[in-house]
């Protein structure tokens, strides 16, 4: 019971700082995404493809969250955007305070878009608001179409579902129709995109959504 209390206190404190972050983002007209998924669903690859296709006038920065290593930040640096790596040293999710501290590394007034890649984990990061505008959950066609039912919290709190690796559909037991049905049963408001970050298929719809949303801020 005491554990639950502590957890609630942590979440309450996190929510307060997330609220501060949200205010900072709004004051700077900065559109902010929190990218969430299991390890290996393709968050970093989606991010790479997005940065490569982003119109030049949209100025983007990236915060990378990882349990260990700065591999992802090094992949992102190649796209010549400001990037900060947060290494959680075993921690299973990002928290609002970590994001707030990372913001010191950016010139926020020069930015339009901030993309945060969370730790690969379909459970814990669902509970931690970072102050972002939209949560993007990825699921890949190799993970099974039952994942929204088995990890409902993540799909409930998300705004957008990106179904990745559709190029592998011929080789796996996965139904696009079923995963959509399962996800929308948990959260009927989810915006859904079907993409292959490898072949580029479907990315135009994702990019259109992202660019429109960023310009609207």
Q: Which residues form the interface with its own copies (CB under 8 A)? A: 2-3, 6, 10, 38-40, 66-69, 71, 90, 92, 119-124, 140, 142-144, 146-147, 149-153, 165, 167-168, 171-173, 198
CB of 83 to its own copies, least distance (A): 16
> Least distance to its own copies from the beta carbon of 128, Å?
12
With respect to its own copies, which residue has the nearer C-beta, 54 or 119?
Answer: 119
6 vs 216, beta carbon nearer its own copies: 6
Cα distance between residue 117 and residue 99, in whole Å: 11
Report, in Å, the least distance between residue 173 CB and its own copies. Answer: 8
Contact predicate 121/88, CB 8 Å: no
Nearest-approach distance from CB 143 to its own copies, in angstroms: 3
Closer to its own copies by Cβ: residue 108 or 124: 124
- Cα–Cα distance measured from residue 46 to residue 164, given in angstroms and rounded to the nearest whole number: 9
Q: How far apart are CA 180 and CA 185, in angstroms?
A: 8
Q: Which is nearer to its own copies, 113 or 195 (CB)?
A: 195
Query: Which run of H or E residues covers position 164?
Result: strand 160-164
What Å distances lie between residue 35 and 109, 174, 177, CA to CA?
A: 22, 22, 23
Question: Residue 22 CB, nearest distance to its own copies (Å)?
Answer: 23
**Of the two residues 60 and 126, which places its CB atom closer to its own copies in the complex?**
126
Strands (E), 10-54: 31-36
| Ramachandran quadrant class, 86 (left: phi over 0; alpha: psi -120 to 50; beta: rest) | beta
């Amino acid at each position: 019971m005491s554990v639950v209390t502590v957890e609630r206190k942590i979440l309450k404190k996190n929510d307060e700082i997330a609220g501060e972050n949200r205010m900072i983002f709004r004051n700077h007209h900065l559109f902010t995404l929190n990218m969430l998924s299991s390890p290996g669903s393709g968050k970093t690859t989606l991010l790479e493809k997005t940065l490569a296709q982003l119109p030049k006038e949209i100025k983007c920065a990236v915060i990378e969250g990882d349990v260990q290593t700065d591999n992802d930040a090094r992949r992102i640096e190649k796209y010549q955007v400001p990037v900060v790596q947060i290494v959680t040293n075993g921690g299973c999710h990002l928290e609002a305070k970590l994001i707030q501290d990372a913001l010191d590394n950016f010139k926020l007034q020069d930015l339009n878009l901030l993309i945060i890649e969370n730790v690969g984990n379909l459970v814990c990061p669902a509970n931690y608001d970072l102050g972002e505008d939209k949560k993007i959950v990825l699921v890949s066609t190799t993970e099974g179409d039952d994942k929204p039912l088995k990890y409902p919290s993540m799909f409930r709190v998300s705004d957008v579902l990106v179904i990745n690796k559709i190029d592998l559909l011929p080789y796996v037991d996965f139904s696009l129709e079923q995963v959509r049905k399962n996800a929308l049963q948990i959260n009927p408001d989810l915006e859904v995109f079907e993409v292959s970050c490898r072949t580029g298929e479907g990315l135009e719809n994702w990019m259109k959504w992202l660019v429109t949303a960023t310009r609207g801020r």
